[in-house]
C-alpha cells in the first residue's frame, strides 16, 4: 500500500526523498516488537492503537519500513522469472506495510494534532520520503517489468480493474520520470528532495503565523456583537497565552474571519482583517514569500524537465480537466458574471451603510473588505428578517451529526451508527462510531474530530487510517476534521449554517471512503482525480437543508423545540443570498493558483515580487474587486503548496457534476433508498477503479451539463441562484 504513498509523493504532490536503507539487527528486533507499527493493529478493523503509539515510534518504523520496502522492490525488480501481474503489480501492491501504517498515522496526526516532535520528524523525513518514492519510481528494472506488462495488458486474461491497475502504475511511473536519462533522473531527485523540504517548511510557517497573528484586545467593550460564549472563549485563549485580563481572537486560515460578521467595532474588524491578509508577507521568521518563489521556480523547472510547458500542464494532464486551456475557459466564463453579482451585492451593502450613518448623523464611508460580512448580516436580516444568531441555538453539534448527517445517511443508504467509547483516542475531543450496513454487517469505523486547536491545521478535511481493499480484506477506518471553535466547559457547541453544511460536506468524503468496494488498494476510496474528489462531498451538502432532514435535527438545544417553519423557510430563501461574494472570493483563489502554475521558471518573481505578481494576476483576470479579496492569498494558500497545486479549480469543476447530480436526485424523488443505492453502486463504491467521467455517466445517464451550475451559482440572471458551496 505504501507503493501508492511513494508514487503519490513523488509524482503528484511533489514531495521528494533520497534512498534510505537500514538492516534490522538483533538489537533492534526487540524494539520492533514493542513498536505498534511493526504488526497490524489487533483492534477492530485494524483501528490504530493510539494509546500505545509514541512519537518515538515513528522514526524507527519509517527507517525500517523504507528499508523493507526497498528490499521488496528490489526482489520484484530482480526476479529472474518473466514479469506477471502477480509477481510484479500485486507484489508492489502488497509491499511496504510497515511504512504504510506508520506514515498513514503520522501524516494524519501532523494535520490534526501536531507538536514540536512531530514537526521535527516531518522536517527530518520529508526529503527522505521523497527520495524513497524516487528510488521506487525511478528504478529502471522495475519500470521495465511494468512496461512489459503494460504492452501486453489486454492479453493477460485480466478483468477491467486489473488492466486499469497496470495502466495506472505505468502512467505514475512515466509521470515520475521513469523515461528520463540517468543525468535527468539525478536532477529530478534533487528537485523533489528540495520541494519536499520547502513544502514542509511552508506548512509549518503557515500554522505558526496563524497562531502568531491572533489579535489581542484589551477592552471587552471592543468585542460588542460577540456572544457571551465567544467572549469567554477569547478570555480563555488569552489566559492560556499568559495574557490574563485580555482577550484573544484567533484566526482561521481563510482570508475572511468569522467575527467580522458580528463585531460592531469597525476599527477592530479592520485590525482583524489586516492581520489576516498580512500573514506570510509581513516579514519576520514565518514569512513565506521566499518559499513561494522557490517552490514555483522548482515546479516550473521540474515540469520542463519532464517535457511539459509548465506545472499546470503537468498537473492537469492526469485530471478530468486534462489541460490548462480547459480550466482557463471555465474560470474565465464564470469570473465576469461572479464579479457583476458581487458588485450588485455591494450596492445593497453600501446603501445599508449610508442609511445607518445618516441615521446616526455621521458621515458615511466606502465599503471595505472588513465591512462585507458585517453588513451582509444586516442586509440579510432586513431582507429575510433573521440573522445567523437566530439559527445557532437550533444547531447543536452532536445533534447535527447524529440526527442530521447520520439520519440522512440512514434514509439514503440504510446505514446505522453506534457510538463506542472503548477505542483509544489520539485526542480527547474526538468521537468514534461503528458504521453498519442495512443488513447489520459492519461497514467501517468513523472518527469525528470537530474542534479547532492550535495543534491542528486550518480548514476541514477527511482522511483514512485504514483503506478498504479486497486484496487485503481491510475495511475502512475514516475520519472527518472540522475547525469549530470549542465553547467553554459545560457550554453547548452551537454551529453556524456554514459549519453545518461543512459537516455534511466532509461526511460526503467519508461516505466515499467507507463505501469503497474495490479489489486493489491503489483504487481505494477517494483515490480519484483531484477535480473529481470534491464531487461526492458537494452532493452530500444537499441534504443539509432537505426538509425532512432539517426537520429532524434543527431543534433548540434547550427546549428541543423544532425550528419554526417560518425560520426554516427563511433559511431556504436566504440560501440564495451572497452568492456573488462567495463565487468571487473562490474564483480569485482558483485563478491565482492557475496564474502561478502556468508560468515558466524565468517568469517567477523573487520574494519581493510575490505580492505584486498576485495583484497583477488578479487584475489581468478581472477578479480584483477590492471589497472581495481571494479566499486565500498566496502566502497562506496551503492548498496549492500541497496536493492542490494547479488544482484549486477542482471545487467548482466538481460542482458541475454536483449540480447535475442534485438535479438527478430531485428529478428521481430525492431522499430515498433506491436513489442512494444507485449512487453507491454506480459511483461511490468504485473508488478509482474506473475512469471518473465514466462513473458519472453510469450514475447520471448523461454527460455533465454546465447549465445547472450556472443557475446554482447565480450566473444566469441577477437573482437566479441557490447557495454556492464553499470551497473548504
> Residue 402, SS3?
helix
**Which residues are CB-neighbours of 300 under 8 A, at least 6 positions away?**
310, 311, 599, 600, 601, 603, 604
> Residue 555, SS3?
strand
434: β partners: 418, 445
464: β partners: 478
**How many CB atoms are closer than 10 A to CB 151?**
11
Backbone angles phi, psi at 371, to 5 degrees: -95, -20
In angstroms, the Cα distances linking 66 to 61, 81, 322, 334, 390 are 8, 25, 33, 46, 54
- Strands (E) across 169-274 are located at 215-217, 247-249
Q: How far is CA 328 from the centre of its chain?
A: 22
- SS3 of the chain: helix, strand, coil, percent, to 5: 60, 5, 35
In angstroms, the Cα distances linking 707 to 168, 532, 580, 592, 712 are 33, 18, 17, 25, 9
Of 260, 396, 499, 506, which is the active-site residue? 506
Task: Report d(CA 416, CA 439) in Å as an integer.
Answer: 10
Lookup: cell for 475 = 475495511
> Residue 325, SS3?
helix
CB 415 within 8 A of CB 540: no
Lookup: cell for 37 = 507499527
**How many CB atoms are closer than 10 A to CB 390?**
15
Task: Report d(CA 318, CA 328) in Å as an integer.
Answer: 16
Lookup: cell for 91 = 507484489
Task: Report d(CA 95, CA 98) in Å as an integer.
Answer: 9
Handedness of CA 147, 149, 152, 158 (dihedral sign): negative
- 622 sits in the region (left: phi over 0; alpha: psi -120 to 50; else beta) called left
Instruction: Write down the H helix ranges in 541-597.
Output: 547-553, 565-574, 579-597
CB 139 within 8 A of CB 77: yes
**How many CB atoms are closer than 10 A to CB 678?**
16
* Pairing outcome for strands 416-419 and 431-436: antiparallel
506 is catalytic: yes
Q: How far is CA 251 from the centre of its chain?
A: 18
CB 37 within 8 A of CB 66: no
Task: Report d(CA 636, CA 613) in Å as an integer.
Answer: 15
Instruction: From 549, 588, 726, 585, select the one nearest 655 (Cα to Cα).
Output: 726
Lookup: cell for 154 = 489486454
Task: Report d(CA 148, CA 165) in Å as an integer.
Answer: 14
- 168 sits in the region (left: phi over 0; alpha: psi -120 to 50; else beta) called alpha
CB 47 within 8 A of CB 477: yes
Compute the residue count for the chain: 728
Provide the annotated active-site residues: 506
Amino acid at each position: 500500500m505504501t507503493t501508492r504513498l511513494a508514487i503519490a509523493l513523488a509524482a503528484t504532490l511533489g514531495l521528494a526523498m533520497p534512498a534510505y536503507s537500514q538492516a534490522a539487527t538483533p538489537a533492534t528486533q526487540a524494539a520492533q516488537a514493542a513498536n505498534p507499527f511493526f504488526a497490524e493493529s489487533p483492534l477492530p478493523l485494524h483501528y490504530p492503537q493510539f494509546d500505545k503509539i509514541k512519537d518515538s515510534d515513528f522514526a524507527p518504523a519509517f527507517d525500517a519500513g523504507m528499508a523493507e520496502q526497498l528490499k521488496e522492490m528490489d526482489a520484484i525488480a530482480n526476479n529472474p522469472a518473466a514479469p506477471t501481474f502477480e509477481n510484479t503489480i500485486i507484489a508492489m501492491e502488497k509491499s511496504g506495510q510497515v511504512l504504510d501504517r506508520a506514515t498513514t498515522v503520522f501524516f494524519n496526526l501532523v494535520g490534526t494534532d501536531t507538536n514540536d516532535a512531530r514537526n521535527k520528524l516531518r522536517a527530518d523525513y520529508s526529503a527522505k520520503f521523497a527520495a524513497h518514492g524516487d528510488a521506487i519510481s525511478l528504478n529502471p528494472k522495475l519500470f521495465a517489468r511494468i512496461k512489459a506488462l503494460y504492452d501486453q495488458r489486454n492479453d493477460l486474461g485480466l478483468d477491467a480493474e486489473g488492466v486499469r491497475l497496470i495502466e495506472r502504475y505505468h502512467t505514475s511511473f512515466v509521470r515520475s520520470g521513469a523515461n528520463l536519462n540517468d543525468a535527468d533522473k539525478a536532477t529530478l531527485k534533487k528537485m523533489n528532495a528540495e520541494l519536499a523540504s520547502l513544502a514542509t517548511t511552508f506548512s509549518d510557517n503557515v500554522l505558526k503565523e496563524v497562531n502568531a497573528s491572533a489579535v489581542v484586545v484589551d477592552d471587552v467593550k471592543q468585542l460588542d456583537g460577540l456572544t457571551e460564549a465567544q467572549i469567554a472563549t477569547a478570555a480563555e485563549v488569552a489566559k492560556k497565552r499568559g495574557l490574563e485580563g485580555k482577550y484573544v481572537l484567533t484566526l482561521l486560515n481563510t482570508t475572511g474571519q468569522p467575527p467580522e460578521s458580528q463585531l460592531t467595532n469597525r476599527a477592530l474588524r479592520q485590525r482583524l482583517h489586516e492581520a489576516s491578509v498580512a500573514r506570510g508577507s509581513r516579514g519576520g521568521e514565518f514569512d513565506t514569500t521566499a518559499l513561494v518563489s522557490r517552490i514555483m521556480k522548482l515546479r516550473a523547472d521540474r515540469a520542463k524537465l519532464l517535457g511539459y510547458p509548465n506545472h499546470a500542464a503537468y498537473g492537469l494532464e492526469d485530471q478530468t480537466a486534462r489541460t490548462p486551456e480547459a480550466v482557463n475557459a471555465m474560470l474565465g466564463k464564470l469570473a465576469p458574471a461572479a464579479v457583476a453579482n458581487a458588485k450588485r451585492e455591494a450596492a445593497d451593502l453600501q446603501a445599508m451603510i449610508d442609511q445607518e450613518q445618516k441615521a446616526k448623523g455621521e458621515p458615511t464611508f466606502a465599503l471595505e473588505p472588513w465591512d462585507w460580512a458585517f453588513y451582509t448580516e444586516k442586509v440579510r436580516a432586513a431582507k429575510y428578517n433573521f440573522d445567523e444568531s437566530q439559527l445557532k441555538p437550533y444547531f447543536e453539534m452532536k445533534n447535527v451529526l447524529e440526527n442530521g448527517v447520520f439520519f440522512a445517511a440512514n434514509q439514503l443508504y440504510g446505514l446505522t451508527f453506534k457510538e463506542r467509547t472503548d477505542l483509544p483516542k489520539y485526542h480527547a475531543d474526538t468521537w468514534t462510531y461503528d458504521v453498519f450496513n442495512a443488513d447489520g454487517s459492519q461497514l467501517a469505523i468513523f472518527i469525528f474530530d470537530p474542534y479547532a486547536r492550535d495543534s491542528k491545521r486550518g480548514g476541514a478535511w477527511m482522511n483514512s487510517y485504514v483503506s478498504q481493499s479486497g486484496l487485503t480484506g481491510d475495511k475502512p477506518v475514516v475520519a472527518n476534521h472540522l475547525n469549530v471553535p470549542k465553547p467553554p466547559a459545560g457550554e453547548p457547541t452551537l454551529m453556524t449554517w456554514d459549519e453545518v453544511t461543512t459537516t455534511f460536506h466532509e461526511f460526503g468524503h467519508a461516505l466515499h471512503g467507507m463505501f469503497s468496494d474495490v479489489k486493489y488498494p491503489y483504487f481505494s476510496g477517494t483515490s480519484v482525480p483531484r477535480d473529481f474528489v470534491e464531487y461526492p462531498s458537494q452532493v452530500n451538502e444537499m441534504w443539509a437543508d432537505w426538509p425532512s432532514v432539517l426537520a429532524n435535527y434543527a431543534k433548540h438545544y434547550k427546549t428541543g423545540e423544532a425550528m419554526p417553519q417560518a425560520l426554516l423557510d427563511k433559511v431556504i430563501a436566504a440560501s440564495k443570498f451572497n452568492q456573488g461574494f462567495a463565487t468571487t472570493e473562490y474564483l480569485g483563489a482558483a485563478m491565482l493558483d492557475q496564474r502561478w502554475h502556468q508560468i515558466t521558471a524565468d517568469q517567477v518573481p523573487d520574494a519581493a515580487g510575490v505580492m505584486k505578481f498576485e495583484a497583477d494576476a488578479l487584475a489581468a483576470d478581472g477578479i480584483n474587486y477590492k471589497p472581495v479579496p481571494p479566499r486565500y492569498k498566496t502566502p497562506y494558500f496551503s492548498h496549492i503548496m500541497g496536493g492542490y497545486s494547479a488544482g484549486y479549480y477542482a471545487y467548482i469543476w466538481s460542482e458541475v457534476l454536483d449540480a447535475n447530480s442534485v438535479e438527478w436526485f430531485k428529478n428521481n424523488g430525492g431522499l430515498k433508498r433506491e436513489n442512494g443505492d444507485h449512487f453507491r453502486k454506480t459511483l461511490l463504491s468504485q473508488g478509482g477503479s474506473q475512469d471518473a467521467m465514466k462513473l458519472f455517466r453510469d450514475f447520471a445517464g448523461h454527460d455533465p451539463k454546465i447549465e445547472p451550475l450556472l443557475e446554482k451559482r447565480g450566473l444566469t440572471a441577477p437573482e437566479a441562484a441557490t447557495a454556492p458551496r464553499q470551497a473548504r
